[in-house]
């Protein structure tokens, strides 16, 4: 039976504060006193989930302004949280927005993999959806991918669909991702994520329809190399038959499945049991994976490789 993978994960948010104001965002809040996560609270949370077969700790954050006086403390908190997670045998995956080359090199020491959505590489969104989002300038996002490539960081990126772009823009974004992959060979996964607004009427947009998405997955498969896994968040596809059509079109991975989707909090995940049952109707098997694929493991430090080896020996199927 063909295997469809997912990562048993848990998300810890450093802060929901963000200096971007994207029109579609369901995540950010304005800066407020006491918003940042306390590391003691994070450690307690990790202790509570330590025996639940969770391998990946997704460390998520809103973006702190690059010239903010709090940026150094923010980076330290991410680093220390990774250290705590590693000490408890978890595998940290970092997705905290744009980082400098130096910041990525620092965090590389304590993380298994990293991620950043390109979203869209077309500048037309700077006139609407990204009008007040300085870190969404396409060249900055692509530069982040280049930094990850130069540092040989196992990486996840992706496109966000239905935020004001045309299909040709999305396909062009995939081609640019492919160019980075051809040079550095470090991109593990590309997420194809349809934007699912919390209040659809507010944006005067319809959710990406089934025909569009299935067609787009087929085109993505022809642009990106087979070494990159195509990923789709299953909670954004609530119709089981629609989800199956996406998988049959080329989706190979369902991403990190955690108790709550912090980016799309109103879109709950199916249980792993239900997902498995849906996939079995088409003779597909749901199976776990780690936040790093085996062929990227040798890019990690010796200590991080040992921890990955531990999880590979103890990895369980759904």
Q: What is the largest CA-CA distance in the chain?
A: 54
Asked whether residue 82 is marked as a ligand-binding residue, the answer is no
Q: Where are the alpha helices (DSSP H) in the chain?
A: 39-48, 71-87, 101-108, 138-150, 167-184, 200-203, 210-223, 240-249, 272-280, 302-314
The C-alpha atoms of residue 196 and residue 206 are separated, in whole angstroms, by: 9
Say which residue the tokens 């049952």 belong to. 277
Contact 290, 258 (CB under 8 A): no
Please, are residues 251 and 217 in contact by the beta-carbon 8 Å criterion? Answer: yes
Closest CA to 145 of 164, 124, 119, 171: 119
Strand 91-95 to strand 56-60: parallel, antiparallel, or no bridges (unpaired)?
parallel
User: What angle do helix axes 240-249 and 272-280 make, rounded to 10 degrees?
Assistant: 60
Annotated binding site: 18, 22, 25
Binding site membership for [4Fe-4S] cluster: which residues?
18, 22, 25
């Amino acid at each position: 039976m063909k295997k469809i993978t997912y990562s048993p994960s848990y998300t810890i948010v450093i802060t929901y504060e963000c200096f971007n104001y994207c029109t579609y965002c369901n995540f950010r809040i304005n800066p407020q006193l006491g918003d940042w996560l306390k590391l003691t609270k994070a450690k307690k949370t990790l202790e509570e989930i330590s025996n639940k077969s969770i391998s990946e700790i997704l460390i998520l954050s809103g973006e702190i302004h690059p010239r903010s006086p709090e940026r150094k403390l923010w980076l330290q908190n991410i680093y220390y949280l990774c250290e705590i997670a590693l000490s408890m045998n978890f595998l940290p995956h970092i997705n905290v927005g744009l980082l400098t080359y130096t910041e990525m090199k620092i965090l590389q020491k304590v993380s298994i993999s990293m991620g950043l959505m390109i979203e869209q590489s077309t500048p037309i969104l700077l006139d609407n959806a990204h009008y007040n989002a300085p870190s969404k300038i396409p060249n900055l996002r692509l530069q982040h991918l280049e930094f990850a490539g130069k540092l040989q960081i196992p990486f996840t990126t992706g496109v966000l669909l239905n935020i004001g772009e045309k299909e040709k823009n999305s396909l062009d974004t995939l081609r640019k991702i492919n160019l980075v992959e051809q040079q550095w060979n470090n991109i593990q996964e590309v997420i194809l994520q349809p934007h699912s607004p919390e209040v659809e009427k507010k944006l005067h947009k319809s959710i990406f329809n089934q025909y569009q998405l299935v067609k787009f997955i087929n085109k993505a498969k022809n642009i990106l190399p087979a070494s990159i896994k195509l990923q789709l968040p299953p909670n954004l596809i609530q119709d089981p038959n629609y989800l199956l059509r996406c998988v049959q079109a080329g989706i190979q991975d369902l991403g990190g499945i955690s108790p709550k989707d912090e980016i799309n909090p109103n879109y709950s995940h199916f249980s792993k049991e239900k997902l498995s049952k849906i996939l079995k109707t088409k003779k597909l098997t749901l199976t776990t994976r780690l936040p790093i694929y085996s062929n990227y493991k040798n890019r990690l430090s010796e200590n991080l490789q040992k921890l990955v080896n531990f999880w590979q020996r103890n990895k369980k199927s759904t």
